Structure 1
Amino acid sequence: SANKALEAAQIHTQLGEAYMQRGNLKGALAKLQLALKFDDSYVPAHTVLAVLYERIGEYGNAEHQYRRVLDLEPKSGSANNNLGAFLCRTGKVEESLQYF
């Protein structure tokens, strides 16, 4: 059911965050990808995954995740800000301005 899928996505996202905080980035990546297999529209999983990809230098994947969050929540201030800040950090300052 949809509820069970959402619950599984939440649990795997929390585990992914915990692994990330402990420095187990490979474990975190696996849990976050699993979370999205359960519910691809679960924004927190995409957000944490974006941060993880950025941390390990996979900027293309990070940008994809930040943009996915914005697709899911176009009016979200934090989604716009997160993408804008990411673009700034990666040298795309001109492009970033529209998200602030």
Structure 2
Amino acid sequence: MKKLYAGIVALSVLGLTACGGNEPEKKTTSSDPGAEIYANNSCVGCHGRDLEGASGPNLQKVGSKLSEKEIHDIIINGKGSMPGKVVDGEDADKVAKYLAKQK
């Protein structure tokens, strides 16, 4: 009887371990192209999936502090430890527009 319970426990552990353990991280989908670019780029690594900040600053209310142009300039030129051109061209425009809405 003990072997039966041990077998059930072992199979349960294996089953739970196998569920989702090797799934790639899901990319965020949004109707805002800037949010899409932000979520699928290296921005998330420093500023967090929900703009909460990590090694980079919190961006949840960045639009109340900086204009779209100022945000765009930081994206293109970098600031502090943030390198420039993490995204560029139209992608930088879209991300700046998205972040400027965060108030």
Fold match by TM threshold 0.5: no
Q: Larger relative CO (CA 8 A, sep 6+): 1 or 2?
A: 2
More helix by share: 1
Instruction: Return the TM-score normalized by structure 1.
Output: 0.27
